[in-house]
Structure 1
Amino acid sequence: MSRQNVHTLASLFGEVGRVEIPIVQRDYAQGRPEERYVREAFLAALGDALRRPDGDPAGHLNLDFVYGSYDEKSATFAVLDGQQRLTTLFLLHWYCSLRDDRVADFRARFSNGGQARFTYATRESAAMFFDALVRHGCALPAAGRSLATTIRDSQWFFLNWEFDPTVQACLGMLDAIHGGFHGDAGLYARLTDERRITFEFLNLPDFGLSDDLYIKMNARGKPLTPFENFKAWLVGRHAADAAAAAEFDRRMDQEWLEVFWQMARVESGGPAADELFMRFFYLMALYGACQERGTGDSDWLTRLNRRQTVSHAEFARHDSFGEATLARVSTMLDYLAGTPDPGDMALCRQALVRNDLMDVARFGSVVEAVCAAALAGAPAATGEARRRWNRVTANLIGNARIDDVSTLQMAVRGTAALAAHFATLYEDLAEQDLRPVGFDGAQLQEEKTKVQLILQDGGWEPALEAAEAHEYFQGRVGFLLEMSRDEAQQADMAAFKVYAARAGSLFARQLRESEGLLLERALLSQYDYLPGWSFSRYSFCLPGARSFRDRGDHWLRVVGDARFKDFLDALGSGDAEAALEDMIATSACTDWRRLIIAEPRLIAYCGQRFIKRRDGRIYLISKVKSSSRHVELCTYALYLALDKAQQDGPFPAGAVDLDYTAVTDGEPSLSLTLEDDLQLRVVHDRGALRCFDGEREVAPPAALADWIVRFGPAAA
């Protein structure tokens, strides 16, 4: 056969008689349900290339290397690596031939004597399925209908094929192809007659390599992993010279790989070592892409962050692993393979194993620190500069809203900008007007204030670090500094420590998540603390502390209120829980707050802690939106009290039935049926609780009158 090494699927069949997936290979996998993201990414890349106008450079997609052995006697090419890509390409050719009414051409190219020239030797049923595809075809269903179902309903489809994993995956892929390509005409010609989709073809004997070598490289005859192909591409295309290539290759196979072997052992049941290693390269490519000029390609950033399949051609097009990036990669891998700080290794592991943007941002700060330290000739894991860097960047990242790739990009850029000040970070923050993008402006100012205090008096640093370490504050302690200012407006360290201890106790997890909602009710006993939201909504505040959004939208809005300092003063330095319970028990509130202070179930009803104020009434919202099911505060408090009284003994008002109607629209109401069959509806109307018998307002029964007054909106 020819030594040509760049082929389309059609041109490959011009060189070989058959393409066979040998028995040592696994089943076809790209069509499986669990391979959804790989499948979608691959089909999207194929579709993008095929739909481009003629002459568009992006209309060519190279699928990297396909390895195998060609047997001249049988004219059969046995695929050792490339099975998944070639199978999907074959199915796409079959589909597009049906779509464009080119079935005769497809059969002429891809079948011989009624047998498919692309086949599987793994199971006879798989080979029979491919033969049936080229012989019979089928009518394509309408858009939105399942092509797999149509095939299964065909007379030529054998039921026992359902038990073949390769056939099942082919049907899944054909459904995905039908969903993505049903509206595209003319693609068959582009697939067969143009060089839109190509791959690098390697016949192993031509290069003096044996099949056994590739089988042994991949234990148990499985195809080469994406990482092994990626490594070969990276070494071959980006090494400066032969010696550098050999050294890079050696370290990739030895000390650097050992880092991820160890990590895989820690993450038992998680990703394998080469998968973790590949994710590391995706992360480094992501950090590089985030620092490109302009807003960046959000789709590209998203694919890198999600570790979706990226071809080598795409990496090359984006220059993801240029000389500067490879130097940073080597620096980081040398650090991780040496004696890294355990905290750095933990951040690396989290960023690779989980798919959390905050983890990615935090590990990005480690990368910047290690590379900056290498440039400065300073210790990467230890030293004063690194300790200061960790503190400041942890505070900035922990209090930034990083919830999509655009905000991640800004945070990565901001961290990189700060890295230029790595060796003198405190001094430069204190003296210069540093404004790195991606970080909260208030937090930046807070860090500036704190380093100024630390540089004036080193005793501030441990005091600040202790407060910053609180799981809820996470570095956001500017409100404590404001509380501790003396008459000259200078922060007093002793006062700071007192307020930090009180606030720390108050926002400990057991109090934030207390079933009795002690913090909320005690605060309400002192003042109306609820921060406002849009659409006349107010929040009791959620206790979560996972992200800055969780904290910044809730309790961090409360602690900045000047009245909160008075609350901490009233709290004292004793047992915080006991102090809260005492505030609740001695509350002198007479407005709407008294109802909630007395009954924690009123707050608990609000699934996301929202209320809405409208026309002098307060509605408790079950979820987030005002249109969610909701109840009215006074009538619902009355309902809970009556229900409890009814459970404790005979209800004095003689009620035999009690119900509450929560609504999504209209006015909520309390319903009572009394012993004389009188049915009453109680609503909050015109500043009071009023009783109705049908549409007619009536005076409440004598036994109910006191309850109506007690739970009314203006009780004395």
Structure 2
Amino acid sequence: MKNNKMTFLTLLNNYHLIEIPALQRDFAFGREDTKTKEKRIKFIKSIKNILVSDEEILHLDFIYGKTIDHQIFVPLDGQQRLTMLFLIHLYIAKQNNDVQTFERLRRFSYNTRMSSRDFCHKLIDEHWVNDNIFKQPWFYSNWKKDSTIRGMVQFIISLQDELFGIDFSMATERLERITFTFLDVDNLGSPEELYIKMNSRGKPLSDWDILKSEIIENAEDKEAVGLWLDQNFTDFMFKINSKTYEVDESNRFEGILYRFFKNIIELEEINQSKKGNNIDIITVFNNAKSLIEFIKNKEEEIEKDLIENQFIVESSIKDLLDILIKEKDLESSEKELLNIYYHFAIYKKPLNKDDMVNLVQCLRIIRNIQESYRNQNDIMIESIKGMTKAINSGNILEYFKSTDLKDLKFGSHSAEQVAEERLKAKLITENNEIAKTIYEIEKHPYLSGMIGFLLLLAAKDAKSLSEIEYTIHLEKQLKYTYQLFKSRFNENGIINKKDMLRLIHKYNILLSDHFPHNNGDIAENMLRDKSWKKFFRKVISDDEQYLNAMRTLLFEEKQQDNFMNENEELKFKWFILSENLIEIIGKIKEKYYDGKDYLAGIDWSQNRFTSKIYDIPLYAIYLRNKHYLEDDTYWLNKEGKSYLAVKESNIIITYNYKDNVFIVKDGKEDRLVSSIEKLENIIRNA
């Protein structure tokens, strides 16, 4: 069995005829159901990226089949992909009137129905490139009954829509960057016999059957390799897979076996920088075998080291096993985790104690980084190579501590976490006690390794992570700060939302200036755990104001009160200018205004958040300064609507946003009041 990376035109050059056999199914990629249409458009857009770029590469996986008389290639798998490539090359050749390519494309034909074969010939001979094929005089009406022809026409229509207006002058050359892995299966009988050949579970040959045959054929000891694949490898994959499969679902398990080796091939391409070139299949087999033996032999030792070091990644072995049996393509973060184990299994044999320490530190660091950023598959190769470079250093903590880490790029927000890991590496290598504290905090399920903001809070004078140095004070303050954090947050986020609302009421000005905003009210934002995680990240990625807000708001109420008392100008920098409160809030922002009463408030705009939550609380501040109200007289219900209770009375005040009026409830009737003067009289006389 021969295995080569190949392009469509190269395949045509190598054979007198490429013939889709009668046993193959109709061309299905042109079906008009929603799911198929989405796949078709996605594929054509990936082709478009090839046509408009000099850098894009697209690989279409395996295409295998049988050669007859050294002249005719009969595909047994990949008919859909070959048909799409035929139509794409033909469409571009028509755009450029490329006669030479027309002649090469005549070597592609269908042996399913005579109508399909004739239609392919007509597509080459006739003019249609920007027209409706169904309306062409050469198109026979009974061809519409051929599902393959209908599918081809629909695919061409999608090409016409998606590729409209692009420059086709370099298109044929750029199509050479679309490749597939070509397998020519020899000496296995006639095409029909091979296609219907049944394996032990009564199924047609699968991708796994073909790949396994290739591995065995290229092995020196074919019997030993075949035995390992059929017994050791299969048993291991069954053991780690908790799923059970029905008899007619055995192809799903074979898909897992095939995908495992496919992931190993991809890692080899990345690590060897050979994307687009052949990877030796026996090297892939040997490395896959080493990885599995490594997991079987080192699983308990790795788990023991993770637990002894109190790392956050106790479940990383389970995470790895889940990756090995995943039925879908891996996310970039999963490939990065797999690459760490793969690297230690292949390139660090035999592992000594220092290697094991380095391995668990690698797992800890990559887990922290992955928790803090969004997966970005477009930089997956770069991130894996960067992490591999760190692993190759022999001591990842020293590497993080002493290098610029410019090679470590994982995606959005990863730069902040990389900087945090650099600081933690420095602290961990300098003092064992603070190392234990760092490991303990990283294990908090709400933080998941992102603790940079706590380090900043613990540092006395530092304004950024780069300014932090180890001191006894830092060690003690970090423990204290963590205890304060745990009093506010558990694994699910905010422990006491009522208490958090009280903070919002009391310090709404400070919160409004510093808390990450959506278009909703600040209380709603502050009760969303996701917003707090953004806030933690802001503490280490932006300027000092977030750090100050964190210090004053989360932990020490005495410090909070001192802040508010020392910032009267901030507290009263917004004021009432007219009788319509809703028109005032956020519209005027001045330090002082002679002759007017000052009112705390916020700067309101559509891009930040609405002022709905502030009308009554701000008015309460105003009234307290008039000595009409006691401190705790306003609150929010769970819908976020604010209320004001007048002391020693039954009066409740809310606000109607639609009509811009206060609603006064006294248990008898509701009164609508638009004048602040009238409202003050009601409160004064209550």
Could you give the per-residue CA deviations for residues 566-609 of structure 1, whole angstroms, max 9, x where no partner exists? Answer: 6666479xxxxxxx9xx9xx999999989xxxxxxxxxxxxxxx
| SS state at 2:65 partner | strand
Aligned-pair distance for 1:441? 1.9
Alpha-carbon distance in 2 for matches of 1:354, 1:108:
35
Structure 2 match to 1:404: 376
With over 3 angstroms needed to count, the CA separation of the structure-2 counterparts of 1:212 and 1:261, relative to structure 1, is: farther
| SS state at 2:293 partner | helix
Answer yes or no: is 1:349 the counterpart of 2:322: yes
Could you give the per-residue CA deviations for residues 198-253 of structure 1, whole angstroms, max 9, x where no partner exists? Answer: 99684755x6677545533666665642x5555666777xx6xx426776565455
Give the aligned residue type for 1:553: K
Could you give the per-residue CA deviations for residues 401-452 of structure 1, whole angstroms, max 9, x where no partner exists? Answer: 4643466455434432332455x666x479x625544262233112321342
Alpha-carbon distance in 2 for matches of 1:44, 1:204:
36
Aligned-pair distance for 1:359? 3.4
Is there any run of 5+ residues in structure 2 with no aligned partner, and where? 1-5, 304-314, 409-416, 462-469, 573-584, 591-600, 620-635, 665-671
Alpha-carbon distance in 1 for matches of 2:319, 2:137:
49
State which of 196, 202, 215 in structure 2 corresponds to 1:215: 196
Could you give the per-residue CA deviations for residues 91-124 of structure 1, whole angstroms, max 9, x where no partner exists? Answer: 446646765679999799859xxxx951426xxx
Answer yes or no: is 1:417 the counterpart of 2:389: yes
Answer yes or no: is 1:444 the counterpart of 2:422: yes
Correspondence list, 1:18-417, <5 A: 19-23=19-23, 25-31=24-30, 34=35, 66-68=64-66, 79-92=75-88, 95=91, 118-120=110-112, 128=115, 131=118, 134=121, 140=128, 142=130, 156=141, 164=147, 166=148, 169-179=151-161, 202=184, 204=186, 211-213=192-194, 215-216=196-197, 222=204, 224-225=206-207, 229=210, 242-243=219-220, 251-262=228-239, 265-266=242-243, 272-281=252-261, 283-284=263-264, 287=267, 315-317=275-277, 328-336=287-295, 340=299, 343-350=316-323, 352=326, 353=328, 355-371=330-346, 373-377=348-352, 386-399=359-372, 401=373, 403-405=375-377, 408-409=380-381, 411-417=383-389
Aligned-pair distance for 1:67? 1.4
Is there any run of 5+ residues in structure 1 with no aligned partner, and where? 122-126, 294-313, 573-579, 595-610, 662-669, 675-680, 683-690, 692-699, 710-716
Aligned-pair distance for 1:496? 4.6
Alpha-carbon distance in 2 for matches of 1:536, 1:68:
61
Answer yes or no: is 1:505 the counterpart of 2:487: yes
Give the aligned residue type for 1:334: E
With over 3 angstroms needed to count, the CA separation of the structure-2 counterparts of 1:359 and 1:119, relative to structure 1, is: same
Aligned-pair distance for 1:468? 1.5
Aligned residues: CA RMSD: 6.6
With over 3 angstroms needed to count, the CA separation of the structure-2 counterparts of 1:36 and 1:155, relative to structure 1, is: closer
CA contact (8 A) 1:90 1:118 kept: no
Structure 2 match to 1:607: none
TM-score (norm 2): 0.60
Give the aligned residue type for 1:467: I
Aligned-pair distance for 1:360? 3.4
Alpha-carbon distance in 1 for matches of 2:492, 2:399:
36
Structure 1 match to 2:440: 466
CA contact (8 A) 1:429 1:451 kept: no
Alpha-carbon distance in 1 for matches of 2:12, 2:396:
60
Could you give the per-residue CA deviations for residues 251-301 of structure 1, whole angstroms, max 9, x where no partner exists? Answer: 4554334444555654989993444445445544555566678xxxxxxxx
Give the aligned residue type for 2:402: D
Aligned-pair distance for 1:8? 6.0
| SS state at 1:67 partner | strand
With over 3 angstroms needed to count, the CA separation of the structure-2 counterparts of 1:536 and 1:270, relative to structure 1, is: farther
Alpha-carbon distance in 2 for matches of 1:48, 1:141:
20
With over 3 angstroms needed to count, the CA separation of the structure-2 counterparts of 1:259 and 1:149, relative to structure 1, is: farther
Give the aligned residue type for 2:449: G
| SS state at 1:178 partner | helix
CA contact (8 A) 1:638 1:707 kept: no
TM-score (norm 1): 0.58
CA contact (8 A) 2:509 2:602 kept: no
CA contact (8 A) 2:453 2:540 kept: no
With over 3 angstroms needed to count, the CA separation of the structure-2 counterparts of 1:404 and 1:267, relative to structure 1, is: farther
Alpha-carbon distance in 1 for matches of 2:454, 2:644:
47
Aligned-pair distance for 1:356? 3.7
With over 3 angstroms needed to count, the CA separation of the structure-2 counterparts of 1:393 and 1:251, relative to structure 1, is: same
Alpha-carbon distance in 2 for matches of 1:59, 1:396:
28
Answer yes or no: is 1:553 the counterpart of 2:530: no
Aligned-pair distance for 1:660? 3.3
CA contact (8 A) 1:8 1:197 kept: no
| SS state at 1:660 partner | coil
CA contact (8 A) 2:65 2:75 kept: yes
Alpha-carbon distance in 2 for matches of 1:188, 1:407:
26
Structure 2 match to 1:490: 472
CA contact (8 A) 2:446 2:493 kept: no
| SS state at 1:528 partner | helix
| SS state at 1:80 partner | strand
| SS state at 2:220 partner | helix
With over 3 angstroms needed to count, the CA separation of the structure-2 counterparts of 1:560 and 1:647, relative to structure 1, is: closer
With over 3 angstroms needed to count, the CA separation of the structure-2 counterparts of 1:542 and 1:325, relative to structure 1, is: farther
With over 3 angstroms needed to count, the CA separation of the structure-2 counterparts of 1:262 and 1:78, relative to structure 1, is: same
State which of 402, 408, 425 in structure 2 corresponds to 1:433: 402
Aligned-pair distance for 1:388? 4.4
Give the aligned residue type for 1:243: E
Aligned-pair distance for 1:518? 1.6
Structure 2 match to 1:667: none
Give the aligned residue type for 1:703: K
Alpha-carbon distance in 1 for matches of 2:138, 2:681:
73
Aligned-pair distance for 1:490? 0.8
Structure 1 match to 2:628: none
Could you give the per-residue CA deviations for residues 125-183 of structure 1, whole angstroms, max 9, x where no partner exists? Answer: xx6455456568987475xx9x588689977156665xx5x556434432333345566
Alpha-carbon distance in 2 for matches of 1:354, 1:105:
35
Aligned-pair distance for 1:619? 4.6
With over 3 angstroms needed to count, the CA separation of the structure-2 counterparts of 1:316 and 1:566, relative to structure 1, is: closer
Give the aligned residue type for 1:440: V
CA contact (8 A) 2:503 2:553 kept: no
Q: How many residues align?
A: 580
| SS state at 2:510 partner | coil
| SS state at 1:553 partner | helix
Answer yes or no: is 1:618 the counterpart of 2:602: yes
Give the aligned residue type for 1:366: Y
With over 3 angstroms needed to count, the CA separation of the structure-2 counterparts of 1:90 and 1:631, relative to structure 1, is: same
State which of 514, 518, 521 in structure 2 corresponds to 1:531: 514
Give the aligned residue type for 1:216: K
Alpha-carbon distance in 2 for matches of 1:535, 1:654:
27
With over 3 angstroms needed to count, the CA separation of the structure-2 counterparts of 1:20 and 1:465, relative to structure 1, is: closer
CA contact (8 A) 1:257 1:273 kept: no
CA contact (8 A) 1:506 1:519 kept: no
